[in-house]
């Protein structure tokens, strides 16, 4: 099954084949789900024309969304759900985490921390590639840190998205900034990604190490000591933050501002930093302080989680735009799989016809 959830299946386009012999409950039988190429805007096509072969009990339906359609169009809004919990369908939402692309101090092997440093050319390319990897995933809200490298990464990734929405940086630091940045067109608001900046998602402050070369510091203090400063949970660098201190603000903000969106059925992307994302992942995956020591977050590689019924399910990293896999399929691969499906259905029809002849 080429899907990450029923909602994502419809978002990317699929071929569910239903047995309509059971009209009392046609959703009971789902034989095949397979991504296909969308042509035009038809949402229901017949594979076999009358007279070619007999398909009395089967119909091929193509469910495929345009890039502007959100996965939420296929999920019942929370406000419309029946008050009886047993009758409520489960809601699945997407959480995308991206560490910023390579910064100019990453390139120089310097401790960056809270210093506001932009991306390198390679970092820009990493952000663009990250955007291609998530271009088919639904996004309603975007959160970044207050640092330029995470904001650059978010914007460069978002402009690759197939829905073609415009990333809009939200200025809400004071009432005047909020008033002056108001959007008065409902249509423009619908066609935008709200990008919300939060200092709580900033990289942890490395104190007296900021701006110093990592290799030189390792020679001065020893590799074991530097590793302890960088990867331990409770030990901070001189005059800096420990991961535990960083986690308190980052996870606290996540719980208060981001998780409620996921619970209400919205999809969220977070572009942040190695240590704030390590903190959030520690919370999502319920890692211990010992387990988080070995956790590494690569620059520019998106991580996907599915939120469902209070649980975060890790789905790894969406594949690149030119690779075939669970999250993206090339046109050639889609065409090949579609042909295989057509042949299988044709064989099924011929087999059933032969059975009918034998029974007579």
In the annotated binding site, the residues are 99-106, 112-113, 149, 203-206, 214, 230-231
Residues annotated within the binding site for substrate are: 99-106, 112-113, 149, 203-206, 214, 230-231
- Say whether 100 is catalytic: yes
**H or E stretch at 269:** strand 268-272
Among candidate residues 203, 241, 259, 273, the one labeled active-site is 203
Ordered DSSP codes for 299-348? TT--EEEEEETTEEEE---PPPTTS-SSS---HHHHHHHHHHHHHHHHHH
CB 287 within 8 A of CB 296: no
Asked if 106 and 165 touch (Cβ cutoff 8 Å), the reply is: no
Rounded to 5°, angle at Cα 254 from 249 and 258: 150
Q: Is 261 a catalytic residue?
A: no
92, 100, 161, 259: which one is catalytic? Answer: 100
User: In what helix (H) or strand (E) does residue 19 lie, and over which residues does it extend?
Assistant: strand 17-19
Residue owning tokens 């969304």: 65
**Dist. CA 226–CA 240, nearest whole Å:** 13
Backbone φ/ψ region at 353: left (φ over 0), alpha (ψ -120 to 50), beta: alpha
Active site residues: 100, 203
């Amino acid at each position: 099954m080429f899907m990450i959830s029923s909602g994502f299946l419809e978002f990317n386009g699929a071929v569910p084949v239903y047995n309509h012999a059971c009209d009392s409950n046609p959703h009971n039988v789902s034989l095949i789900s397979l991504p296909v190429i969308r042509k035009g805007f038809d949402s229901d096509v017949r594979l076999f024309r009358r007279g070619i072969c007999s398909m009395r009990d089967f119909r091929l339906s193509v469910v495929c969304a345009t890039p502007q359609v959100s996965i939420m169009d296929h999920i019942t809004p929370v406000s419309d759900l029946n008050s009886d919990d047993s009758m409520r369908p489960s809601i699945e939402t997407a959480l995308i985490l991206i560490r910023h692309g390579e910064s100019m101090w990453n390139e120089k092997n310097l401790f960056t921390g809270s210093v506001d440093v932009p991306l390198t050319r390679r970092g820009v390319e990493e952000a663009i590639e990250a955007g291609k990897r998530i271009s088919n995933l639904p996004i309603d809200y975007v959160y970044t840190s207050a640092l330029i490298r995470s904001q650059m990464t978010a914007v460069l990734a978002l402009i690759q998205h197939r829905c073609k929405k415009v990333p809009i940086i939200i200025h809400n630091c004071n009432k005047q900034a909020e008033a002056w940045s108001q959007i008065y067109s409902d249509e423009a608001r619908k066609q935008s990604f709200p990008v919300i900046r939060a200092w709580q998602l900033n990289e942890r402050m490395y104190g007296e190490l900021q701006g110093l070369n990592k290799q030189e510091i390792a020679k001065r203090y020893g590799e074991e000591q530097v590793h302890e400063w960088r990867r331990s949970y409770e030990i901070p660098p001189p005059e800096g933050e420990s991961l535990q201190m960083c986690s308190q603000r980052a996870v606290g903000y996540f719980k208060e501002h981001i998780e409620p969106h996921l619970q209400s059925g919205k999809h969220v992307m977070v572009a942040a930093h190695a240590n704030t994302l390590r903190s959030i992942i520690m919370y999502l995956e319920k890692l211990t302080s010992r387990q988080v020591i070995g956790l590494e977050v690569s620059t520019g590689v998106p991580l996907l989680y599915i939120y469902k019924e209070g649980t975060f399910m890790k789905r790894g990293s969406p594949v690149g735009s030119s690779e075939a896999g669970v999250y993206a399929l090339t046109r050639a691969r889609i065409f090949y799989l579609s042909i295989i499906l057509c042949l299988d259905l044709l064989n099924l029809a011929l087999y059933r016809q032969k059975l009918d002849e034998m029974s007579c």
